[in-house]
């Protein structure tokens, strides 16, 4: 393969010498071909497998969407990855990697030292995942699966690999029906891992123990920037543990707790405000830039500590609160805070309904529009800087500016580009 690349480069150079136009055209075609060679494919055909084996430098990303990898393809992919050092991103979501007990493929993935991004979402890697498949597959197939489940959990393989892997920067294992023991093993691996920056482990129905385990991991880990725990039963206890850790962790910038029951005290079986106070305290001291608390049945009273924290916070740019129960009073509080907060640029209050009146939006359009304008103002930092400093600018004596320039400066400091505002989403 390397010989072919050298010959192709030599041909491009020769064409450049003969005709720069032809040389440029050939170079563009090569770039287009390289771009189209990385991406989603329907199956692991012989050409892809050969290019993996030859270490084709243009093949850096492969995506096999739902059920595109058959069992024999997984074995071929495992064999091709043994010596490949060019592939950087591999996405194989929803391909039943766990249900078939394909240890060969997982071992190849774990031993490969070049992959930086790996997506294994929705592959039934967890212990619970195999029980779910009992009701969807033919009895004969599941009998074979029962045998393979005598080997250690696929999720445990991932945890073991993560503890020592020094190449992965992004790992997606969401939707794999893990149990707490498996999630805790992944969290423990973060104590020693020094390269992973993004972990997506949402939609696994893991609970409080996992939340506490990730809180402990964040005490040790100094590289993780994104932690996605969406659609898990983290509850107030797990959320408080994570929030307390954020007081000292300065690396994590994105935290997703969407639909994680953060306002529910599982131990006492009742709603609680404690998690919101803990998160608010963390926001006053932490460097989070993105926080997702959507779909947690948060009411106005519960959100108030976080609103107050935005008076001190200077790092948060995105706050997701969609599908909660925040009313006009809560929205007005955000509107008031945004008069002074110049950092927040994205605030979602979409679909905040009263629990007993689910078809009636609680926030008026007027308030939402006012919040939108304030967020838009924060999205225009250059204009804000001009507005803040224009009064301090003094024109030296003897220097005059054309009236057109004077008007332009004045407009930049005082007006909003309405056409941009209408296009903003």
- The pLDDT tens digits of the residues spanning 300-350 come to 999 999 999 999 999 999 999 999 999 999 999 999 999 999 999 999 999
Is residue 88 in some structural domain? no
**DSSP track, 42-89:** SS--HHHHHHHHTT-TT--EEEE-TT---HHHHHHHHHHHTS--S--E
Q: What is the pLDDT of residue 58?
A: 94
CB 100 within 8 A of CB 67: no
Q: Is the pLDDT of residue 32 over 70?
A: no
Is residue 66 in some structural domain? no
Whole domain around residue 21: which residue ranges?
A: 1-37
Q: What is the pLDDT of residue 99?
A: 67
Is residue 76 in some structural domain? no
Mean pLDDT of 143-165: 70
Q: pLDDT confidence of 106, banded at 50, 70, 90?
A: confident
Q: pLDDT confidence of 130, banded at 50, 70, 90?
A: low
Q: What's the structural domain count of the chain?
A: 1
- The pLDDT tens digits of the residues spanning 263-286 come to 999 999 999 999 999 999 999 877
Is residue 7 in some structural domain? yes
Is residue 28 in some structural domain? yes
Is residue 13 in some structural domain? yes
More confident residue, 145 or 175: 175
Q: What is the pLDDT of residue 15?
A: 58
For all residues of the chain together, what is the average pLDDT? 80
Q: pLDDT confidence of 98, banded at 50, 70, 90?
A: confident
Q: What is the pLDDT of residue 387?
A: 43
Is residue 23 in some structural domain? yes
260-282 burial: b if 16+ Cβ within 10 Å, else e = bbbbbbbeeeeebbbbbbbbbbb
CA atoms in the 13 A half-sphere facing the CB of 289: 5
Is residue 9 in some structural domain? yes
């Amino acid at each position: 393969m390397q010989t072919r690349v050298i010959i192709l480069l030599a041909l491009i150079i020769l064409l450049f010498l003969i005709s720069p136009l032809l040389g440029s055209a050939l170079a563009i075609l090569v770039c287009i071909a390289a771009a189209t060679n990385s991406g989603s494919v329907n199956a692991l055909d012989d050409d892809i497998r050969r290019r993996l084996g030859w270490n084709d430098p243009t093949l850096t990303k492969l995506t096999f969407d739902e059920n595109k990898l058959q069992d024999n393809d997984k074995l071929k992919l495992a064999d091709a990855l043994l010596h490949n050092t060019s592939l950087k991103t591999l996405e194989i979501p929803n391909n039943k990697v766990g249900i078939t007990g394909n240890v060969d493929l997982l071992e190849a993935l774990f031993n490969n030292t070049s992959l930086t991004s790996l997506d294994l979402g929705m592959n039934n890697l967890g212990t619970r995942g195999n029980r779910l498949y009992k009701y969807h597959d033919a009895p004969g197939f599941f009998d074979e699966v029962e045998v393979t489940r005598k080997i250690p959990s696929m999720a445990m393989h991932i945890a073991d690999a993560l503890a020592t892997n020094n190449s992965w920067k992004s790992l997606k294992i969401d939707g794999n029906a893990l149990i707490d023991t498996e999630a805790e093993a992944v969290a423990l691996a973060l104590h020693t891992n020094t390269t992973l920056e993004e972990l997506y482990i949402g939609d696994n129905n893991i609970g409080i123990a996992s939340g506490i385990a990730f809180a402990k991991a964040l005490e040790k880990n100094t590289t993780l920037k994104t932690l996605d725990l969406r659609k898990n039963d983290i509850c107030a206890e797990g959320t408080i543990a994570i929030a307390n850790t954020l007081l000292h962790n300065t690396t994590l910038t994105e935290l997703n707790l969407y639909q994680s029951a953060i306002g529910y005290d599982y131990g006492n079986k009742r709603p609680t405000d404690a998690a919101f106070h803990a998160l608010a305290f963390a926001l006053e001291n932490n460097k989070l830039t993105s926080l997702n608390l959507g779909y947690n049945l948060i009411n106005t009273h519960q959100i108030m500590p976080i609103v107050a924290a935005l008076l001190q916070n200077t790092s948060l740019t995105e706050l997701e609160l969609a599908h909660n129960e925040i009313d006009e009073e809560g929205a007005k509080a955000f509107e008031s805070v945004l008069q002074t907060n110049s950092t927040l640029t994205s605030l979602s209050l979409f679909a905040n309904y009263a629990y007993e009146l689910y078809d009636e939006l609680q926030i008026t359009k007027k308030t939402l529009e006012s919040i939108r304008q304030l967020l838009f103002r924060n999205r225009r930092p250059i204009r804000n800087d001009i507005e803040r400093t224009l009064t301090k600018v003094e024109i030296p004596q003897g220097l005059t500016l054309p009236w057109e320039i004077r008007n332009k400066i004045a407009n930049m400091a005082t007006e909003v580009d309405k056409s941009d505002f209408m296009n903003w989403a």
